[in-house]
Amino acid sequence: MNNLKTTQLHSIHVESGAKMVPFAGWEMPIQYSSIIQECNAVRNKAGIFDVSHMGRFEIFGKDASLALDKILSVDPNTIKNFQAKYNLICNKEGGIIDDCIVYKINETKFLLIPNAANADTVLKWIQDNTQKLNFKINIITSETSMIALQGPHATNILNMTIPNLSEIKRFRFLEHDFNSSKMLITRTGYTGEDGYEIIVDNNLSEELWKSFRKNGADEIGLGARDVLRLEASLPLHGNEITENTNPFAAKLGMFVKLDRENYLINSKLTSLKSTDQEKVLVGFEIQGRNIARSHNSVLDSENNIIGEVTSGSFSPTLNNSIGLAYVKNSFTDLNSEVKINIRSKNITAKIIKTPFYKRS
């Protein structure tokens, strides 16, 4: 694992016995105990994830809002101060370069969180398409840590660890002084559960992690995180969304705000929105022990290929096998049956409503 980057919390993961694996150029914990046990911990109480590998770009200056208006699928001018918004960054053909969260601190300062594997691509895309604008990008990925605290007990654990916090509503955030340093606490996540993501200076990250753990949060690896996000039908770049898939095929049109004069690909996405998509993203379930995997073929009743699986897993929460796939538009009816080729066997699957899991 030479030349892999490590987070500030790396030594804690090793001490906890985590299985470490390469991920997007980083050495990250894939699991501490078992993936099923870790999924159950997040669904039933709370878990903490090290997500410090994700990018963190401060975007600030006179034209910061204009720059993001050109790049993001959402209008930064309609985002309130201390509000977060999920968005897509698309190329000129409408393909998805990345999905991100943008945080508006004030009218001239934002924080953008790209995925680890796409951070450099996102940075270059912004720079290449905003060259004449007056703003700066400060990359704070290496000097800060990012911890996700997720699950039904997350709020209690957060308040035990950091007393006297004001209430934070969903997709809102606040800045907080913690041991003479600023931290940013957001009510966001990637698990389908209530929870928070906290960005803190590196010198405080170990203390915060240990405090969350002491107050009842289990340590959770990226393996469980992937299963949890699939149960919640949240897309993963490289699987459900790529530079060759557009927001409307991926059923992410609700995160695209069109009719914007400054948006670079307003015309292209307007055209794609009005066009029937050849294939669209659907959810499916399989009864029994078979598990579909990315790139498995989806077949019709006559064994013609009609699509491809993007993600699949056993769901500990639902106790069955679930997955997402792109299929031809004529095969998307709920409760209709298709076949999935798994290890050279055609296994029956049923198209079902997503998200598979939604917290009560």
| pLDDT tens column, 1-49 | 578 999 999 999 999 999 999 999 999 999 999 999 999 999 999 999 9
Residue 1's nearest CA partner among 32, 24, 30, 26 is 26
Contact residues for 56 (Cβ-Cβ < 8 A; gap 6+): 111, 112, 113, 139, 140, 141, 144, 146, 199
Specify whether the CB–CB gap between 7 and 55 falls below 8 A.
no
Can you tell me whether residue 307 is helix, strand or coil? strand
Question: Which pLDDT band holds residue 360 (cuts at 50, 70, 90)?
Answer: confident
Read off the pLDDT of residues 237-266 as tens digits, 9 standing for 90 and up: 999 999 999 999 999 999 999 999 999 999
* Predicted local confidence at residue 103, as pLDDT: 98
Query: Which amino acid type is present at position 345?
Result: K
Q: Is 329 or 181 the better-scoring residue by pLDDT?
A: 329
Quick one: CA dihedral 291, 296, 249, 253, positive or negative?
A: positive
Read off the pLDDT of residues 58-100 as tens digits, 9 standing for 90 and up: 999 999 999 999 999 999 999 999 999 999 999 999 999 999 9
Q: How far apart are the first and last CA of the chain?
A: 41
Please give the Cα distance from 243 to 91 (Å, whole number). Answer: 7
Q: What residue ranges define each of the domains in the chain, with the CATH number in brackets?
A: 10-53+141-231 (3.30.1360.120), 57-137 (3.30.70.1400), 276-352 (2.40.30.110)
pTM of structure: 0.97
Taking 60 as the threshold, does the pLDDT of residue 155 lie above it?
Answer: yes
Tokens of 281: 């993203």
* Predicted local confidence at residue 289, as pLDDT: 87
* Predicted local confidence at residue 1, as pLDDT: 52
* Predicted local confidence at residue 288, as pLDDT: 85
